[in-house]
Each structure stands twice: as structure tokens, then as C-alpha cells.
Structure 1
Amino acid sequence: MPERTRIDWVDYAKGFCIIMVVMMHSTLGVEKAAGAESWLGHVVAFARPFRMPDFFLISGLFLSRVIDRDWRSYADRKIVHFAYFYVLWLMIQFAFKAPGMMAEDGVGGALGAFLLAFIEPFGTLWFIYLLPIFFTVTKLLRGVPSWIVLIVAAALEIAPIHTGWTLPDEFASRFVYFYAGYVFAPQVFRLAAAVIDRPALAVVGLLAWAVVNGFAVFGGFSELPFVGLGLGVLGACAVIAFSALLSKADLMAPLRYCGQQSIVIYLAFFLPMAATRVLLLKTGIIPDLGTVSLIVTAAGVVVPILLYWAVRDTRLSFLFKRPGWAHIDRVKAGALAPAQ
């Protein structure tokens, strides 16, 4: 079956979101290590209401194309696929962090932390841990009226659920956006088309949104019940509109490519991010923390892509492509499924 044609604005949206995610981890890591805030922290704060909502909404956007498949085929593409990359990159991340864990808590403590990662997502990998759960729940709820699911999902987002366990906390906070992407996919595509047709009006709308979002974030009430949900929805629409405008002119092809490789970046950004942060802060060659955070962000985005290019036609391609043995559905012997 031929691969579906990619949709440029979707790739722009994914590229924008993955860079925002890397920027958040990079900036907060630099600020924590330096014990001071940076100007880039204001950008991270501005993006907080919409950064992950849009990522999850986009993740649910094409679900209608596969949700009616039999469970074996569906599970292979939407559950086993992400489970493979979670386990693989869990082991890779753990290999780098285990020496420090063993020095602090002994071998037993490190082993316990590894086993705990199967019920409490490890490090930065919580997004791909949660995705197969969202795919499973959505298929199980296939026979339930979508308006009921949306109301319950919205109620979960609004409710103050803070157990300290990532799975229920993030499920409650994010599922409404993923499900909305699935249910409202036609409306989302119509929004993008309307933006492309009337770019001037879209720019005015984006400016108005930026004022509202900034006022809520820096006014200190962006995380209030109902407000957070509203900002998440508006922000997701804003990212879609912004991405549609970019796709109209296609002036930022590197950003679009980052969207095409968003999972590659997500899986591998932790190591170049950490290494660059340590190098820059220890040497002190760049005194401005905002600039340091920006360079760390760039390393976290660019190095995974370079790694992907280096291994994609080698025996190490399994880092970003799922090998045939990791399928439960029928595949050609030796076939590889890319991370996306």
C-alpha cells in the first residue's frame, strides 16, 4: 500500500510543538543547574498552555483512518509500535543514568528504578508511554457517543487530579485533546483550509490570541479550572492556524522536516541536550543563560536528526525503525516501520 501523502501544515505543527518541548526541557534544565532564570523561560511559560495539548490533538488527527481495523492490526500500529520505542529508549536512557543511580542508591535501587519505569514513565519518555494508552482507550470507547466521552474527558482535565503518578495525572490532563483531535478532525482540516484561504484575517486572530494567552499566563491564572482547558483549545487552534500560514508560503522547510521527524527528535534529544548543557555551564563561555538555553535547544533538535541520518541505512536503523520481529501483524520479513 503506498504511503499517504504528507500534509504540510501538520508537519509544521508537529515541528513547532517538538521544538517547544525540547526548549522547555532545555531551558528548565539550564535554569535549574544554574540556579537562575533566563529570558527564554518567558517563551517556555508562554507556550505552556498549548505546547502539549496541540501535540496530543495532532496525534489523534488521523485515528479515524485506522480505528475500525481489527484489534491485531490496530494494536500492531498503535500499541506495539510505541511500546517498542518506549522499551528500547528506556534501556538507552537507563544505560546513561544507571551509573549515577547505582552510586547513589546501589544496584538494587537502580534495578528498582528500571522496573518502576514500566508503570511510571521514565524521564522524558512519558509522551510515547501515554500514546498507546490513549489509542487503546479510544478504540474501547468506539461505541460510546463521542459527546459523552468529550464531556467526561473535559471534566477530567478541569478536575484537580494530582496523584503524583504520571499515568492518571497526565491521562486526565491530556486525553480530552487527543480525543478532540480524533472526533473533530474534519473541523480541524477546515480551519487550516480557511486560514490558507484568508491569511490576513488569520494573522489578526493570531495576534488577538497571543494577547489573551500572554495575559493569562503572565497574569497568573492560566492554570485555573476551565481557563486552562479554554487556553489549551484556543492554543491548539492557534498552532494549527500558524502552521497553515507557514505551509502556504513554505518558508521554513527545516521546521517542516522537524515535524516529519518529531518522534526521532523526541526519542533522542535527552543526551545531546544534557551534554551541551553541562559543557556550556561548566566552561562558562556563554554568560547569558537565555542564549545557553537556546543553544542547548538547538543541539537537542539537530543532533537526533544527524543521528537518524547516520544510522538509517545501517544495522543500527532499529533505533528509529521498528524491525519485522517487533510486529504482531503480518509484515514482510525484515520489514522496518519508522518511528512515526
Structure 2
Amino acid sequence: MSATGIGADGGAPRVDWVDVAKGVCIVLVVMMHSTLGVEKAAGEVGWMHHVVAFARPFRMPDFFLISGLFLALVIDRDWRTYIDRKVVHFAYFYVLWLLIQGAVKWPGLAMSDGLGAVAHQFALSLIDPFGTLWFIYLLPIFFVFAKLVRRVPPLLVLAFAALLESLRVQTGWTVPDEFCARLFYVMLGWYAAPLIFRFAEFARRRPALALGGLAAWALANAAAVQGGVSEWVGVSLALGVAGAFAIITVAALIAGTPVGEPLRYAGERSIVIYLAFFLPMAATRMLLLKLGVIPDIGTVSALVTAAGVILPLVLEWMVTRTGWGTFLFVRPKAFWIDRRPRQTTAPVAA
């Protein structure tokens, strides 16, 4: 995708293991939504439930940590450019895909509760993120916060963010709840970026040691989840950081290999998948459960996950090849507030 597409930062380089890590994260996110949706519709739990539970401590922490990795490259830009790249950019895709998802969901709401209910739902979605789109909504808020505190000592910001995470804020409003829960990881990705890149290189050069560390982490993470302590104050933060570094380790080890290539491809387009997976996921779930040809709920969940990852990539490929519907994944110039030419370096999503 060109530098005007989703995630264009106008200068942030592509790094193979970063894209692989994003690929792992987006698969885990789609897997979670797919599995829980299938199990709720079917009224039973499948084997995929255990995979989702294992990934819960680190699934979103890693996504947010990686989102902060390249902030140092853009944080000192003037406010107009920064807002264009980091706020307006994501706001465009949020509103667009809110309308697309609403076009599927809201007709039924209109028939049952009237057009007023649809208007209320739309207005509410502007202040409380709609469904699966909350990640896109929160990113600009984190990015603005980062720019506002760029002169504040990093340890002070990290301590503040860790405190927010420990408070377990539960207002029922997605914005403050997720901001408090995820801020630490975005800030850590920003501040610790040099360390993280050195860590990935170390893991790549010492595969045996890296694999041993992964084994120890997997046992500890599984024990915490099974023991019911993964959500404890302090434990959740430790598991989130450890899990994020575990995904980075895996990504560093498999980047550039045949195993890592599909994940790199998906990770390079992770926001495309995040925006578009809802519709194919829901359609595949309904189709498979209605047909009933696959009795195993875990297998159904796996197939729905695959559809949720692959079909958005097919859509993006078709858009790129035909030039039709480019507005779905490339922000039109009419929605830029900073229209100075962008650098042509390949973009880094989010």
C-alpha cells in the first residue's frame, strides 16, 4: 500500500519482525472475536477457547506496545502535521468503517426501534467506540497524550501509566477504561524502542536461548491463567510486558522464513484486517453454524478466524489491483489537513 494508506507515517521504516509481530497480534485478535462469537451463538465451548484464554494477558498489550515503537520518529513534528497523521488519519477510517458496519447492523435496529434509535446509536458511537473499532478510536488519543508529555521524564510517565493500569478503571465507558488499561504499553513501546530492537536482534542471534526463554514464559503464562491470577494487580502488567516480549521473540525468530512470511504479509496490513474482519467473520460464523456440517465448535472457530483474516486481505488485494474502492483503505486527499507531499517510504501501520 502506498504511503497514503492506512498507517502511513511518512518516514517510518518497515522492519520484518515488527510486521510479523503485528501479524501474530491481529490473528490473535480475530481469533478472540471469532471464538467467543461462535461459542456464544452455539451455546457451547470449543478447544479454541483455551487458546484465546492463554493469549488474553498479552494479546492487546503487544499490539499497543508495537504501536508506540516508531513514535520517536514523528513526535517532534509540528502539531498540524502530527494531528493529520496521527488523529485525522485514524478518525477518517473510524467514521468510514463505523458507517459500513452500521449499514449492516442498523437496518434491524431501525425496524425494531425506529430511526431515532439509529441516530442515537450513531451519536453515541462518536464518543464511545463502536464494537470492534475501539482500537482505531483509542490510538489517536494515545498519540496526542504522548506528544503532550514528550517533555516529561519517561519514568514519571511510565509510573503514572502503571498506576492507571493497576486501578482497574471500570466506568462502562470504553475510552477511559481502555486508556487506563493500555497507556503503559504504548508509552513503553515509545520509550523502550531502542532496547526492544536490541532485544529482537539478540533473540535472532541466540535462537537456542530465545527458545528456552519462550518455553519458560509459556509455562508461567499458562500457570497464571489456569491459576486465576492473571488479572491480579501487578501480575497483569508483568504478564502483559512478558507476553509482548515473547511475541517479539517469536517474530524475530521466524521473520524471513517461510513460516513467518504469511504473518509478515498480514502484519503489514494489520489495520486493514482490523477494520474489515467483522463482516466476513460474522457471515462465515452464521453460514457454518446454519449448515451444521462441522460438529466440532473449536474447528468452526478456527475456520471463522481464518475467514476473518484472509477475506479482508483478498478485499484489499482486489482494491489495489482494480483501483475501485481505494477510499476503503487509503485516505482521500480531501480528508487531509496537511497537504504537503509525504515521503514515499513504505508505511508502518499504526
| TM bin (shorter chain) | over 0.9
Out of 51, 58, 61, the residue aligned to residue 69 of structure 2 is: 61
d(CA) in 2 for partners of 1:276, 1:203: 36
Higher deviation after alignment, 30-39 or 250-259: 250-259
- In structure 1, what is the equivalent of residue 328 of structure 2? 319
CA contact (8 A) 1:53 1:236 kept: yes
The structure 1 residue matched to 2:232, chosen from 212, 215, 224, is 224
Q: Conserved in 1, the CA contact under 8 Å of 2:158 and 2:187? A: yes
Partners of 1:238 and 1:338 in 2: how far apart?
Answer: 24
Which of the numbers 236, 255, 261 marks the counterpart of 1:253? Answer: 261
Deviations 1:238-262 (A, max 9, x none): 0001110011545331111000010
> Displacement, 1:111?
1.2
Moved more, 8-17 or 248-257: 248-257
Separation in 1, partners of 2:147, 2:13:
25
Kindly provide the amino acid, as one letter, of the partner of residue 191 in structure 1. F
C-alpha displacement of 1:72: 0.6
Hey, what does 2:185 align to over in structure 1? 177
Shift of 1:104: 2.9
Distance (Å, rounded) in 2 between the aligned partners of 1:278 and 1:10: 34
Partner of 2:44: helix, strand, or coil?
coil
Partner in structure 2 of residue 244 of structure 1: 252
Alpha-carbon deviation of 1:323? 1.1
Q: Kindly indicate whether residue 337 of structure 2 is the aligned counterpart of residue 328 of structure 1.
A: yes
Work out which of the residue numbers 304, 308, 314 in structure 2 matches 1:300.
Answer: 308
Per the alignment, residue 84 of structure 2 pairs with 76
Letter in structure 2 aligned against 1:172: C
Q: Deviations over 1:207-247 (max 9, x none)?
A: 00000000000111100111100100100010001110011
Structure 2 CA distance for aligned equivalents of residues 307 and 9 of structure 1: 24
* 1:11 maps onto 2:9 in alignment: no
- Which range moves more in the overlay, 110-119 or 245-254? 245-254
Any stretches of 5+ residues in structure 1 without a counterpart? none
How big is the shift at 1:134? 0.2
**Number of equivalences:** 338
Displacement after TM superposition at 1:5 (Å):
4.2
Aligned 8 A contact 1:209 1:238 in 2: yes
The answer to whether the 8 Å contact 2:14/2:348 transfers is: no
Counterpart CA distance in 2 for 1:100 and 1:278 is 16
Distance in 1 separating the partners of 2:76 and 2:11: 19
Q: Deviations over 1:144-198 (max 9, x none)?
A: 1111110010001011211110000000000100010000000100100100110
Structure-to-structure mapping, 1:154-303, within 5 angstroms: 154-247=162-255, 249-303=257-311
Report SS of the residue matched to 1:322.
coil
Residue 213 of structure 1 aligns to a residue in which SS? helix
Question: Following superposition of structure 1 onto structure 2, how do residues 20-59 of structure 1 map, counting pairs within 5 Å?
Answer: 20-59=28-67
| Amino acid in structure 2 at the alignment position of 1:140 | L
Q: Is the 8 A contact 1:60 1:182 kept in 2?
A: yes
Q: Tell me how far 1:332 sits from its aligned partner.
A: 5.3
Q: Which has the higher contact order (CA 8 A, sep 6+)?
A: 2
DSSP 3-state at the match of 2:239: helix
**Equivalent position of 2:137 in the other structure:** 129
Q: Aligned Cα RMSD in Å?
A: 1.7
Select which of 93, 110, 115 maps to 1:85.
Answer: 93
- How far residue 102 of structure 1 moved from its aligned partner, in angstroms, is 1.4
Partners of 1:117 and 1:275 in 2: CA distance:
23
Give me the whole-angstrom Cα distance separating, in 2, the residues matched to 1:123 and 1:95. 14
| C-alpha distance in 2 between matches for 1:100 and 1:208 | 49
1:136-151 matches, within 5 Å, as 136-151=144-159
* Aligned-partner Cα distance in 2 for 1:152–1:37: 38
The 1-side partners of 2:245 and 2:223 are apart by 18
Q: Which stretch of the first structure deviates more once superposed, 247-256 or 176-185? A: 247-256
Equivalent residues of 2:17, 2:248 under 8 A apart: yes
Distance 1:339 1:297 in 2: 24
> Aligned equivalents of 1:152 and 1:328: distance in 2?
32
Whether the 8 Å contact between 2:38 and 2:301 is mirrored in structure 1 is: yes
SS of 1:143's equivalent in the other structure is: coil
Q: Helix, strand or coil: the match of 1:42?
A: helix
Question: Secondary structure at 2:331's aligned position in 1?
Answer: strand
Give 4+ residue runs of structure 1 displaced > 6 Å after superposition.
Answer: none
